[in-house]
Structure 1
Amino acid sequence: MTTASKVFITGGTGFLGAYIIRELVSKGFSVRALRRGNKIPSFIDASVFSKVEWVDGDVLDIVALEAGMEGIDTVIHSAAKVSFYASERDELYKTNVEGTANVVNAALSKQVSRFVQISSVAALGRTKQSTIVTEEKKWEESSTNTNYAVSKYMAENEVWRGMAEGLDVIILNPSTILGFGDWNASSAAIFKNAYNEFPWYTSGVNGFVDVEDVAHVTVLLLEKNIVNERFIINSDNWSFRKVFESIADNFGKKRPHKSATIWMGSIAWRLEKLKSLFTGNKPLLTRETAKIAHTQTHFN
């Protein structure tokens, strides 16, 4: 694929989507992007977005999707909802599953050459036992799978369905994405906790990757003759304690020094749920995030 190719990206104003746009623009691609509202991320230079053709709408807006893909060579589907709140389960499935089906259908209708699905390692599923996850791992039903994970797995099935109907696809499964961004949104919130000297750490292990690396790999694959495959994008597997300590050290802040056990997390999420019923605020900890905090998963 040449840099003269036209790329349509969903989720262009999201954390990862914004970095992908910056990478595309820097490589000379012609970029059209889907957005909800006109707010531009402050963590990317505004001059980058001035070179983007914007389409207003979302992944549930079929008219906007088809208009956005007119004359497009490649679609990068980056839009997704990330949530671990039980109350947002329906919205999660609507955006991630139904939304992905809409994007795939529009791509088939407009006969685009390439479809890149930004998925997640969560879509590969988790097991109760500590294990190394590779691209060959098959989905397993497990109590450790979150609603978000199930929705991303089902979203991938829509993409594979698109492949069966003639679409050339690539599925990318990044691990937990870290980088400069909005501390009140996405996984970048981990920096806020470290900066505020959150004292607790848990026993969990997970994969982590820099947002710039994910954006770079995404655009790099557009230049390769590779289709109908998946790729895990992971830099390293670290304990949550090590991640918090590293971030705290770089901020010159106090490291977390209290171990939060599984039973403590079990009590904490229940108390948070009870508190939210009275305050109307979202709980700071949920059943799913408490479980993730102690899950040990390695990615290769």
Structure 2
Amino acid sequence: MIFVTGGTGLVGSHLLFNLLQTGNKVRALKRPNSNMKAVIKSFSYYTDKAEELFQQIEWVEGDILDYHSLEDLLNGVTDVYHCAAMVSFHPNDHDSMLNNNVKGTANLIDAAIVNKVKRFCHISSIAALGKTQDGTLIDEETYWIPSKQKSAYSLSKFFSEMEVWRGIEEGVDAVIVNPSIILGPGNWDIGSPKLFQTIWKGLKYYTKGETGFVDVRDVVRAMAQLMEARTFEQVKNQRFILNAGNMSYQDFFNQIADALQRPRPKTFASDLILKIAWRAARLASFFSGKRPAITRETVSGSNNINHYNGSKIQRSIDFSYHPLNQTIVDIAQLFLQDVEQLTPGGHPKAKKASH
């Protein structure tokens, strides 16, 4: 029995699809208000039998902040995939995000210890890694250093990962994956999928920062392969950066624009412009009562250059990444498919993506 948290999110829904495709028995955690349609929608990008696959999941209601419910839900579970995490760059969410991500991970680790779970996979982030000062590639040994510039999300992912390392010391065998920016189709209003919608609507600005990107299909395939019984003994109690390649935001935006047949962003957003923008957004939110579209944390580092080394997993197991240019094209096709469903006749239908 496999237990999955965060099954309605971008990574979690793709992981569920991967696990079900290979015949696994899956129990997935959800909240009473979880968007189950998002999971079926995610499945539908890759199969015509989305509903049939969805029905094979044993959905259980619970909360990672409720330890006692987790202890019961992990009864009989052999493998745990921890994908649930709160993601926010709004300052008002600082404390709740730290509590949700860190305490939730601690609870899941403790429940895994009590239930003698055999294998535990934790999805962390490159936000839990340090930075290099000389421009060299950031790898699994580049350790996180506290600073006032760290986002609350970075703090939460670092301390969540520390709970997993604590669990390893207490007897849980685990693997940790640190993906770079995860690209995939899903809810076009949030996360990385929103970038496709934003460029579709006409993004005017670009930044000159550089960072790493990885296909969500590669992320879930890496997680599943690392957890396979025949390989787990060789890779357990290690962390793996998942990064298909490094790219500038300008090139990334341009490739999306080209794939969507939209104009490329033309105006460079300097650090000064970004500072003015987030302050203006904060002022506007004060009068509107709505959350600002951008914050200091969302634009922080937009012009910084950070390159990541995702080759360790390739040296450890038989694994390869999708080329980033193909990933962008695949997602763009699925976005256009969804646009056509909302506005019939707008674009030719996309073919099913390969998983």
Q: Which range, TM-score by smaller chain?
A: over 0.9
Q: Does 1:230 align with 2:235?
A: no
* Alpha-carbon contact 1:126-1:142 (below 8 Å) kept: no
Residue of 88, 92, 96 corresponding to 1:91: 96
* C-alpha distance after superposition, 1:168-224 (max 9, x if no partner): 010000000011111112221111111112110011111000111101111111111
- The aligned amino acid for 1:177 is I
Distance 1:165 1:172 in 2: 20
SS in structure 1 of the partner of residue 2 of structure 2 = strand
Partner of 2:35: 39
- Structure 1: 5+ residue runs without aligned partners? 1-5
Q: Which runs of 4+ in 1 moved over 6 A?
A: none
Is 1:80 the equivalent of 2:90? no
Name the residue aligned to 1:26. 21
What is the CA-CA distance between 1:39 and the residue it aligns to?
A: 2.5
The match for 2:69 is 64
Contact 1:127–1:140 (8 Å) recurs in 2: no
Matches within 5 A, 1:98-247: 98-126=103-131, 130-223=135-228, 224=231, 225=233, 226-247=235-256
3-state DSSP class of the match of 1:9? strand
What is the aligned partner in structure 1 of residue 348 from structure 2? none
- TM superposition shift of 1:139: 1.2
**Higher mean C-alpha deviation, range 61-70 or range 126-135:** 126-135
Aligned to 1:273: 282
Q: Aligned partners of 1:36, 1:127: CA distance in 2, in Å?
A: 39
- 1: CA distance between counterparts of 2:5 and 2:72? 13
Q: 1:128 to 1:183 in 2, by over 3 A?
A: farther
Letter in 1 for 2:285: S
What is the aligned-residue identity percentage? 41
Secondary structure of the residue aligned to 1:133 is: coil
Counterpart of 2:10 in structure 1 is 15
Question: What amino acid maps onto 1:187 in structure 2?
Answer: S
Q: How many residues are matched? A: 295
The one-letter amino acid of 1:272's match is A
Instruction: Please give the alpha-carbon distance, in whole angstroms, between the structure 2 residues aligned to 1:182 and 1:126.
Output: 30
Higher strand share: 1
1:234-278 deviation line (CA, Å, top 9, x unaligned): 011111111111111111111111100000001111111111111
Cα 1:115–1:92 change in 2 (3 A) is same
Unaligned 5+ segments in structure 2 are 44-49, 310-355
Q: Distance in 2 between matches of 1:189 and 1:260?
A: 19
Once the two structures are superposed, what CA deviation does each residue of 1:143-169 show, in whole Å capped at 9, x if it has no partner? Answer: 442110111000011000001101101
TM-score (norm 1): 0.95
Distance in 2 (alpha carbons) for counterparts of 1:173 and 1:126 = 14
Residues 120/27 of structure 1: CA separation in 2 closer, same or farther (3 Å cut): same
2:264 to 249, 252, 255: 255
- Deviation by residue 1:70-94 (Cα, 9 ceiling, x = unmatched): 1010111000011111010011101
Q: 1: distance between equivalents of 2:124 and 2:51?
A: 27
Query: Retained in 2: the 8 A contact 1:127–1:142?
Result: no
| Rounded Cα–Cα distance in structure 2 between residues aligned with 1:54 and 1:93 | 26
